[in-house]
Structure formats: structure tokens, C-alpha cells
């Protein structure tokens, strides 16, 4: 019995919020054309589309760093990032399809450690919005070099070392004891 072969598709669909880059064997690699939302023709076996989500994607980045007063703190950043649509072919060639997972941790760690080192552990809590804005500016500047856009950067969690947490608790107990004695 002969087996029926399905013909290869002669078109592809880029859904809403997605664009495609085309790998073309005739032209020797990635074509520098934009394939926006919609249906597009392709030559089977010679052209291979790679669909890329261009919507903002949330990612959480965790790092452990030191503050100005030498306290260890674990910081969790939430980063909303997306690729520059007009640079998709460059991003695909340089970083591949999982560009966000490969790029963002290295982009965020250095500025995060440098900026946090300027503040004390107490200031990290009281100036959280200011620090987040500084981080966004610095990380956005660096992300632009890799054709990425950052829509938001925010500090979601701060976890201090045991020594600092114990010292804060002891201070609160002492304050409450002093208030009761008054």
C-alpha cells in the first residue's frame, strides 16, 4: 500500500502580536524583511519562517548582592521586555529564538549590583521607587544595544540576611518595650 504524502504548506500565518523572520536557503540565511501579522507566502523546503512574539513578556530576575552598609540582600526584579520589531532579523541571528531568557539576566545583574551598592539596607526600602527608576534607565540603555525595549522594571521582593532581619526585630522589640514603660 502506498502512503500518501501531504504537500508542504506554501504559506504561513503570523498571529496578532507576532512577527516572523525567514530563513531562506536560496539567499544564504536570514532575510532582512519584516513579516508582520497575517498570512504570507513561502517556498516549501527552501524557506523556513520563525514566528516571534513581539508583545511585552514579563520575566523575573533574582540576584544576591551587597548594600552600602555591607548587608546581603536577595533582590527580585520584574522586567517587562519586548524585541524591537524592526530589528527582529538581527535579534534572531545574534541571539536565537530564546533571546529574552539569554539576554536579560546578564543585562540586569551588573546595573542592579552597582546601583544597590550605593544604598543602605534601610534606604532600599524607603527609596524603592527611585531605585527602580534608576535601574530602568540603566538597563534600558544597555538593552537598546541588543535591540530590546523595556516597558517596566520594578523591584518585587527584597529578602535580607538573617543578621539584618534579627537586628530589625530586636530594635522593634526594644521600641515596644520602651513604649510600654512610658
More confident residue, 163 or 125: 125
Spatial contact of 150 and 143, defined as CB atoms under 8 Å apart? yes
Residue 54: phi, psi to the nearest 5? -105, 10
Query: Is the separation of the CB atoms in 100 and 57 below 8 Å?
Result: yes
- Pairing between β-strand 11-14 and β-strand 18-24 as defined by DSSP bridges: unpaired
Whether this model's pTM surpasses 0.85: no
Q: Which residue has the higher pLDDT, 76 or 165?
A: 76
Lowest mean pLDDT among 8-17, 36-45, 62-71, 156-165: 156-165
Instruction: Give the whole-angstrom CA distance, residue 66 versus residue 72.
Output: 5
Give the pLDDT of residue 6.
67
Please state, rounded to an integer, the average pLDDT across all residues of the chain.
Answer: 87
C-beta separation of 20 from 40 below 8 A = yes
Measured between alpha carbons, how far is 132 from 117 in angstroms, rounded to an integer?
14
Amino acid at each position: 500500500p502506498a502512503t500518501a504524502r501531504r504537500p508542504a504548506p506554501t504559506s504561513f500565518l503570523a498571529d496578532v502580536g507576532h512577527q516572523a523572520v525567514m530563513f531562506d536557503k536560496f539567499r544564504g540565511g536570514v532575510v532582512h524583511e519584516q513579516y508582520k501579522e497575517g498570512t504570507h507566502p513561502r517556498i516549501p523546503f527552501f524557506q523556513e519562517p520563525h514566528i516571534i512574539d513581539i508583545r511585552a513578556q514579563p520575566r523575573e530576575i533574582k540576584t544576591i548582592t551587597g548594600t552600602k552598609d555591607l548587608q546581603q540582600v536577595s533582590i527580585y526584579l520584574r522586567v517587562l521586555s519586548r524585541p524591537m520589531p524592526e530589528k527582529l532579523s538581527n535579534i534572531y541571528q545574534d541571539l536565537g529564538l530564546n533571546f529574552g531568557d539569554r539576554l536579560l539576566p546578564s543585562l540586569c545583574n551588573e546595573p542592579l549590583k552597582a546601583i544597590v551598592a550605593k544604598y543602605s539596607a534601610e534606604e532600599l526600602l524607603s527609596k524603592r521607587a527611585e531605585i527602580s527608576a534608576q535601574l530602568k534607565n540603566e538597563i534600558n540603555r544597555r538593552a537598546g544595544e541588543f535591540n530590546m525595549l523595556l516597558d517596566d522594571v520594578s523591584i518585587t521582593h527584597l529578602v535580607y540576611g538573617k543578621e539584618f532581619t534579627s537586628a530589625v526585630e530586636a530594635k522593634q522589640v526594644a521600641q515596644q518595650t520602651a513604649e510600654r514603660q512610658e
